[in-house]
Amino acid sequence: MPRKPISFGVMCAADMLTREEIQQFARQAENAGLDQVWIPELLGRDPFLTASLILEATENVRVGTAIANVYVRDARATKSAAYSLVDAFGDRFDLGLGVSNPVGNEPRGHAWLPPVNKMKDFIARYDAADLYCKVPELKIPRYLAAHGPKLMGFAGAYLDGAFTYLQTLEYSKVAKTLLGDARLNLMQPTVFSEDADAARTLARRAIKIYLPLENYHRAWRERGFADEDFQLGGSDEFIDALIPWGSQDRLVEAYQNQIAQGVEHIIMTPLGLDLSEASGWQPVASLIQTVRLASAHLDSTA
C-alpha cells in the first residue's frame, strides 16, 4: 500500500494571544505552507471558539483541537460544537480529543476514571447523539491523544488516528503498529537554534509543565529513561531524544526519521523564532518544503 503524503500542522498557543494575533498567526501559518493549525485546551480560551476565529480568517488550512478535554464538556456538546463549525465554515475541522490528567481535571471537580473506560463511554455517547438541527452529512475526523498501548489500540480501532507527544523516535514505530491504518500525528516541539545551550534551554522551558506529571513519567520509564532524566528540567540526553534542534539539515533528518517510523502528520511547535513577524515563518516554510521534497523523492524511488 502506498504511503500517505506527509502533512504538517502547527500548534497555536492561543491563550496568550489577542483575537487579532490569533488570526494573524493562522494566516501566516497558511502562507508558510502548513496544512493545519491545532488549538490546545489549557486554562484560557475555549478551543472551539478559537477554531472559529481561525477558520474565519483563513481559506484552505484545516483547524483542529489538540486536544479538547473530554472531562470538560459532554459528548453531545462536543459533537454539537464540531458540527456547528463544519456547518459554518465547511469541511476544514478535525476533532482532537484527550483525557488530560488528574492534575488538570480533579480541581475542576471531575472524578478521575480509567482512561480507556472514559473514552469508550464518551465515543459511544458521541456516536449515539442525534443533533436536532440541520448539519452537514459528513464524518468529522477524530483523533485521540494517547501514550499507552490500550488507548493507542482504541484509537486505531474506533477513531481516525492518534497524537503522540514528548515520546522517542522508537515509540513512533510502536504507535504506528498499534494504530494500523489510522493516522499517526506527532506533536513535535522543534527548536530553530544551532546553539546547544540555548536550544536546550528553550526546549526545557517548553515542556516544563509536563515534567511533574506521573502519566508522562510512566511513559518515559517505558522508553528506558530513569527518574533522574526528567528532573531538574530534564537531562541533555532526555531533551535531545524528544526535541530536535539545530541546523535545517539536522531538523530535516529528524523529521525524515519520524516519517520512516510511520508518522504521517507532524505538528510542530516552533521555538526560537519570532512568529509575530512574517520573516519568522521563513525557516518553518523552508523546513517543511525540504522535508516534503525529500519524502516525495524517497517515495518515487521506493
Residue 104 pLDDT exceeds 80: no
227-283 pLDDT, tens digit each: 999 989 999 999 999 999 999 999 999 999 999 999 999 999 999 999 999 999 999
Could you tell me the CA-to-CA distances from 121 to 106, 116, 249 in Å, in that order? 19, 9, 45
Q: At 143, is the secondary structure helix, strand, or coil? A: strand
Structure letter (DSSP) for residue 245: B
Q: What is the pLDDT of residue 41?
A: 93
Per-residue model confidence as pLDDT tens digits over 106-143: 777 778 788 999 999 999 999 999 998 888 789 999 99
- The domain 7-301 having CATH identifier 2.40.10.10: the answer here is no
pLDDT attached to residue 143: 98
pLDDT of residue 2: 59
**pLDDT score at 147:** 85
Kindly tell me if the per-residue pLDDT of 1 is higher than 60: no
DSSP 8-state code for residue 279:
G
Output phi, psi for 199, to 5 deg. -65, -45
Instruction: Give the model confidence (pLDDT) of 11-51 as tens digits.
Output: 999 999 999 999 999 999 999 999 999 999 988 899 999 99
State pTM to two decimals.
Answer: 0.94
| Sign of the torsion formed by the C-alpha atoms of 215, 167, 162 and 29 | positive
Amino acid 233: pLDDT: 95
Give the list of residues 6+ apart from residue 114 with CB closer than 8 angstroms, or none: none
Residues present in the chain in total: 302
Task: With a cut of 70, say whether residue 85 has pLDDT above it.
Answer: yes
Report the C-alpha gap between 262 and 279 in whole angstroms: 31
Residue in this structure with the C-alpha cell 517505558, named with its chain if needed? 222
Residue 109: the pLDDT is: 77
Region for residue 246 given its phi and psi (left: phi exceeds 0; alpha: psi -120 to 50; beta: otherwise): left
Q: What is the pLDDT of residue 121?
A: 97
Cα–Cα distances (Å) from 199 to 114, 192, 203, 272, 285, in that order, read 36, 8, 6, 8, 20
pLDDT digits (tens, 9 = 90+) for 224-242: 999 999 989 999 999 999 9
**In angstroms, rounded to a whole number, what is the distance separating the alpha carbons of residues 141 and 182?**
11
Quote the percentage of the chain above a pLDDT of 90.
Answer: 85
